[in-house]
Amino acid sequence: MPITDLLERNHKLYGDEVALVELNPLIKDARRKTWKEYDLVQQTSATPYRREITWSVFDEKANRVANMLLSRGVKKGDRVAILMFNCLEWLPIYFGILKAGAIAVPFNFRFDANEIKYCANLAEIQVLIFGPEFIGRIESIEEELSRGRLLIYVGDGCPTFAESYRELVADCSSSAPLVRLEEEDDATIYFSSGTTGFPKAILHNHESLTQAAQMEQKHHETTRDDVFLCIPPLYHTGAKFHWMGSLCAGSRAVLLTGTTPEIILEAVSNEKATLMFLLVPWAQAILDALDRGEMKIEDYELDQWRLMHIGAQPVPSSLISHWKDYFPNHQYDTNYGLSESAGPGCVHLGLENVHKVGAIGIPGYRWKCKIVDENGVEVQQGDVGELCVKGPGLMTCYYNDPEATEATLKDGWLFTGDMAMQDEDGFYFLVDRKKDVIISGGENIYPVQIENFLAAHPKIKDVAVIGLPDKRLGEITGAIIAVKEGMECTEEEINDFCKQLPRYKRPKQIIFAEVPRNATGKIEKPALRKRYGAERLVEQQNMA
């Protein structure tokens, strides 16, 4: 079933019910004045930075986008990119591209001009739809970018090098276009996070997207009474495919801008949110604010909030234990996935398995897993190897990169590059990224294990463990530690705490600094290795 069928079903069954809410407490009139609507968008005067649309308006908007693209010569299989911040227009544009039979290509809004140009060429896009925040970046590469491409601007004050989205769609039909879609048809290209270099273009078909929607709805038991609070950027599979559980259930979702503890809890309270996906730093920030007494749970209406789930990175069990101190009735889930596996959930903990926090879990709905050695042979239970997954959400390929595809997809299995082990109960535990393993004096050291241990320290807000160059051992273990606000911590305190670890796992160098993370919550370890590895090389040269 094409993913667009779910939107059309919701239009027919729940047309007058609210589908999407945009909530942005961070902006004032300046930005919202540039987003005047041409049709049917409701706005409450008491909350001027909150907008909402029904399922019928959602579907009709998507149809207008589809018909506009078709009128401009976009054909089935053409690539149409989206470069926008989260807003009420984002998902209707995405679904409009799909309804036209084209391939939706979300761009990371953190891309600089060169990365935009690189990804546009890599995915061979024919159209780029962009928002006002990106005028400068697009203008700097406009001469090359616009060759053979249509540039469409969403907002007021359309630049001369682009065409106005509002004007283009104003006279387009809101009826469904006559484009036949099959689940085998190509649907979308996502880009890998690029933490190891320039990103790869990951191609998925409609079956992948529908699988993600059905899996999310099943894993988290989403019903039409639920309200999903969506905070991460929609260009990434994590946010969008978690939202697709709401699409599958026909329930309301809120697109929230802002990640401070106060903004999040106010949104849960005011919008009566029941489900939320958080990244570890956001969850930790909420706990820290509660610990410091800056917020009190009784000041918010939170009784309806039933589920908090986390993904994108290993989750310290100490964090969830502390979360349960404040929210003892919350259901909890861990989600593991990759953009190559249609986002989160190919492995998940499961709502009933909170006693196994620390594991990434068991195979998700319609997925299979195995762990193999360097020769591709399945290892014994309890041994560490590379995690492989297989299921209906696998990517079709890396677009225009057969060599990378062949190295990653083997006999229908996706080789994830993550090192894992399976315990006696069948639960999978993430050990580390294959490329992040530290080899010190011949010993394999898995940074995630040390990060999870250090995260339990009461003064540590965030931590990253990396390998640093060493003349004698090859590498030593370095820990970059961010201390909680208002606290002080010494190297001696950390070393004393680490005496509980085996000697070879103890960090040999402690660095107190902020831990950089990308938009999906992943630690930017290449940047840390580049910076602190270079500093250590200089130190060793000076000592020689």
Domains of the chain and CATH, by start: 4-242 (3.40.50.12780), 437-543 (3.30.300.30)
H or E element, residue 129: strand 127-130
Provide the residue type at 14 as one letter.
Y
Q: Determine the number of helices (DSSP H) and then strands (DSSP E) in the chain.
A: 17, 28
Angle between helices 4-14 and 206-219 (to 10 degrees): 50
The radius of gyration of the chain from alpha carbons, rounded to an integer in Å, stands at 24
- Distance, CA of 500 to chain centre: 34
pLDDT at 196: 46
pLDDT at 313: 65
* Contact present, 340 and 408 (Cβ < 8 Å): yes
pLDDT at 469: 84
| Alpha-carbon span 244 to 227, nearest angstrom | 12
Task: For residue 384, give every residue at least 6 positions away whose Cβ sits within 8 Å of its Cβ, in sequence order, or none.
Answer: 371, 419, 420, 421, 431, 444, 446
Which two structure tokens, joined as six digits, stand for 26? 């961070």
| Alpha-carbon span 448 to 463, nearest angstrom | 10
Which two structure tokens, joined as six digits, stand for 371? 């762990």
* Contact present, 227 and 268 (Cβ < 8 Å): no
From first to last of its 544 residues, the chain has per-residue pLDDT tens of 999 999 999 999 999 999 999 998 876 443 333 333 323 333 333 444 889 999 999 999 999 999 999 999 999 999 999 999 999 999 999 999 999 999 999 998 888 898 899 999 999 999 999 999 999 999 999 998 988 899 999 998 999 999 999 999 999 999 999 999 999 999 999 998 654 456 899 999 999 999 999 999 999 999 999 999 999 899 988 889 999 999 999 999 999 988 899 999 999 999 999 999 998 878 988 999 999 999 999 999 999 999 999 876 667 788 899 999 999 999 999 999 989 999 889 999 999 998 998 899 999 999 999 999 989 999 999 999 999 999 999 999 999 999 999 999 999 999 998 889 999 999 999 886 667 778 776 667 878 888 888 988 999 999 999 888 876 677 889 999 999 988 999 999 999 999 888 787 899 999 999 998 876 667 888 788 888 887 777 676 665 5
Question: pTM for this one?
Answer: 0.82
| Alpha-carbon span 375 to 382, nearest angstrom | 18
| Alpha-carbon span 130 to 136, nearest angstrom | 11
| Alpha-carbon span 252 to 225, nearest angstrom | 8
